[in-house]
């Protein structure tokens, strides 16, 4: 099984989602051979809590991982709680070789290290981002966590990193080839196209001249991501093994990397669709038929399905194994989906979605009629508001308070992102 996670990519910046401006031919081919999800949701609109959910298979608010890791001292104190079982733990217990390539972002201290959280192998960075090129400025202090390491402490020389996305791809392909003769579980967590905005010159040269500035750099970074996932798909095919490949983005497109969420309102950090609805597909020729599904699913469902394919224990998971539904032996999952990030929380039940904002009441949207969330129906449908608020409150009874927060600055920014008068990409990109 291979789980590929992209970072901060925009919904419409994939051909398989109808995009035309950013070329993703390799991803489009894999998606076209597989099953795409038109309404796949992550459990958080920012990196670390979204990954905490995916890599445990549990709603991260159950264990207090509601926010990104603290950005100030002592940074090393925050991380994925040690009592949580990871999907790598489950896969290894089932006899699979386990590996993580790329971004961890679930704790800097040694006690949180991936090789102590179920992964046999790790080649990547503990931090959430870093330079895409070799950077000799990385020294002691917090920046050392941006180094690419092999295992616990073997640091890849910065001179050996020609371009980070390619380095991660090389490591992923190597893992797949080395474990071609036994079952394995590999997570490839790219940093692309998360900032900083760095692209290979040849990738920049390949981008249509109509794209300018940051958008051009973004498209070049996406070109490298697409090339990498294509190589991973080729490596999987070369093994001849029956392998499930899952692709998913960690959250909606960001404001600071020129990504585009297409028809969805909002961006990374918000609970509008643009913050939590993400590109996703499954690829397993001969087992999963090609096509597209628009029924709501979550990233937790994707990993539950992956674990089901490996025979690993799924006790306590919050996601649903989609295999019976995909193979038409069971109906689609029927449940409400809930989110919370500090002062903002949301619930989607069927086609109705409510966003509750501390101190500002609630907004109600009919996603079937208004997928772009342009019209707030709360004043016109008070009974629906009451019903959804009750559902959200019931979900909150099953979660705990955050173990840490990210401060007043990000709280204010979060509230700004949910103002109804922030409309359109330019207004969204004006926010951090």
Which is more confidently placed, 408 or 246? 246
pLDDT digits 0-9 by tens, 384-393: 999 999 999 9
pLDDT digits 0-9 by tens, 1-60: 999 999 999 999 999 999 999 999 999 999 999 999 999 999 999 999 999 999 999 999
Q: How confident is the model at residue 71 (pLDDT cuts 50, 70, 90)?
A: low
Angle (nearest 5°) at CA 422 between 23 and 417: 85
Q: How confident is the model at residue 74 (pLDDT cuts 50, 70, 90)?
A: low
* Domain final position from 326, 348, 374: 326
Same-domain check for residues 322 and 390: no
Mean pLDDT of 247-259: 96
- pLDDT of residue 421 exceeding 90, the answer is no
In DSSP terms, 117 is beta-bridged to none
Catalytic residues: 47, 105
Identify whether 331 is part of a domain.
no
Lowest-confidence segment of 113-117, 205-209, 416-420 by average pLDDT = 416-420
DSSP conformational letter for 79: B
Identify whether 205 is part of a domain.
yes
Mean pLDDT of 97-102: 98
- pLDDT of residue 414 exceeding 60, the answer is yes
Tell me whether strands 352-357 and 361-366 are parallel, antiparallel or unpaired. antiparallel
- pLDDT of residue 141 exceeding 70, the answer is yes
Same-domain check for residues 286 and 342: no
Percent of the chain, pLDDT > 70? 98
Residue 72 confidence (pLDDT): 58
Distance CA 350, CA 348 (A): 6
- pLDDT of residue 355 exceeding 70, the answer is yes
- pLDDT of residue 73 exceeding 70, the answer is no
Same-domain check for residues 164 and 68: yes
* Cβ-contact 373, 265 below 8 angstroms: yes
* Domain final position from 326, 357, 390: 326
CATH number at residue 16: 3.40.720.10
Distance CA 134, CA 137 (A): 9
What lies within 8 Å, CB to CB, of 281 at 6+ separation is 16, 30, 31, 34, 35, 36, 37, 246, 247
Backbone angles phi, psi at 276, to 5 degrees: -130, -15
Residue 57 confidence (pLDDT): 98
- pLDDT of residue 253 exceeding 70, the answer is yes
- pLDDT of residue 94 exceeding 60, the answer is yes
Residue 76 confidence (pLDDT): 64
Same-domain check for residues 251 and 375: no
Q: How confident is the model at residue 89 (pLDDT cuts 50, 70, 90)?
A: very high
Read off the tokens for 406.
């990210």
- pLDDT of residue 75 exceeding 70, the answer is no
When the pLDDT of each residue in the chain is averaged and rounded to a whole number, the result is 94
Same-domain check for residues 128 and 191: yes
Lowest-confidence segment of 105-114, 313-322, 323-332 by average pLDDT = 323-332
Total number of domains constituting the chain: 2
Same-domain check for residues 261 and 352: no
Identify whether 332 is part of a domain.
no
φ/ψ bin of 88: left (φ > 0), alpha (ψ from -120 to 50), beta (otherwise) = alpha
pTM, two decimal places = 0.97
Residue 10 confidence (pLDDT): 98
Backbone angles phi, psi at 291, to 5 degrees: 155, -165
Same-domain check for residues 29 and 96: yes
> Which among 125, 87, 82 has a CA at the least distance from the CA of 1?
87
* Domain final position from 294, 326, 358: 326
Rg (CA), the chain: 20
Same-domain check for residues 93 and 184: yes
Residue 95 confidence (pLDDT): 97
Mean pLDDT of 97-121: 96
Residue 20 confidence (pLDDT): 96
Same-domain check for residues 260 and 349: no
> Which among 299, 306, 340 has a CA at the least distance from the CA of 53?
299
SS3 (DSSP) at 277: strand
Identify whether 13 is part of a domain.
yes
Same-domain check for residues 320 and 355: no
Mean pLDDT of 235-260: 96
Identify whether 199 is part of a domain.
yes
Same-domain check for residues 223 and 364: no
Write the DSSP assignment of 165-206 as a string of letters.
HHHHHHHHHHHHHHTTTS-EEEEEE--TTSSS----HHHHHT
Which is more confidently placed, 159 or 327? 159
Mean pLDDT of 308-319: 96
Domain that holds residue 368: 337-429
């Amino acid at each position: 099984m291979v789980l590929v996670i992209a970072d901060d990519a925009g919904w419409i910046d994939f051909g398989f989602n109808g995009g035309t401006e950013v070329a993703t031919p390799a991803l489009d081919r894999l998606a076209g051979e597989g099953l795409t999800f038109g309404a796949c949701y992550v459990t958080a609109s920012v990196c670390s809590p979204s990954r905490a959910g995916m890599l445990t298979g549990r709603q991260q608010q159950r264990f207090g991982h509601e926010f990104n890791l603290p950005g100030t001292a002592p940074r090393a104190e925050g991380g994925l709680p040690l009592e949580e079982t990871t999907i790598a733990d489950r896969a290894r217990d089932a006899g699979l070789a386990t590996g993580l390539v790329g971004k961890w972002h679930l704790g800097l201290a040694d006690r949180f290290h991936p090789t102590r959280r179920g992964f046999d192998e790790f080649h990547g960075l503990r931090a959430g981002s870093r330079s895409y090129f070799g950077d000799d400025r990385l020294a002691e202090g917090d920046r050392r966590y941006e180094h690419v390491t092999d295992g616990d402490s073997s640091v890849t020389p910065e001179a050996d990193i020609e371009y980070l996305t390619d380095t991660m791809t090389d490591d992923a392909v190597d893992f797949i080839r080395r474990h071609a003769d036994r079952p394995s579980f590999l997570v490839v967590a790219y940093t692309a196209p998360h900032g900083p905005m760095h692209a290979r010159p040849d990738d920049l040269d390949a981008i249509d001249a109509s794209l300018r500035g940051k958008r051009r750099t973004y498209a070049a970074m996406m070109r490298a991501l697409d090339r990498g996932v294509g190589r991973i798909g080729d490596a999987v095919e070369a093994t001849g093994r029956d392998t499930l490949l899952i692709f998913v983005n960690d959250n909606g497109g960001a404001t600071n990397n020129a990504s585009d969420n297409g028809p969805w309102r909002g961006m990374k950090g918000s609970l509008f669709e643009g913050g939590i609805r993400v590109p996703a597909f499954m690829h397993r020729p001969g087992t999963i038929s090609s096509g597209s599904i628009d029924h709501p699913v979550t990233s937790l469902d994707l990993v539950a399905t992956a674990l089901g394919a490996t025979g690993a224990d799924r006790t306590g998971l919050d996601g649903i194994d989609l295999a019976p539904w995909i193979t038409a032996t069971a109906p689609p999952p029927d449940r409400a989906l809930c989110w919370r990030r500090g002062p903002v929380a949301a619930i989607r039940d069927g086609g109705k979605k409510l966003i509750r904002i501390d101190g500002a009441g609630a907004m109600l949207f009919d996603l079937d009629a208004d997928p772009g969330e342009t019209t707030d129906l709360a004043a016109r449908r008070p009974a629906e508001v009451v019903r959804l608020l009750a559902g959200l409150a019931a979900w909150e009874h099953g979660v705990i308070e955050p173990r840490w927060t990210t401060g007043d600055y990000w709280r204010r920014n979060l509230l700004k992102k949910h103002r109804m008068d922030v409309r359109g990409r330019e207004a969204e990109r004006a926010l951090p």
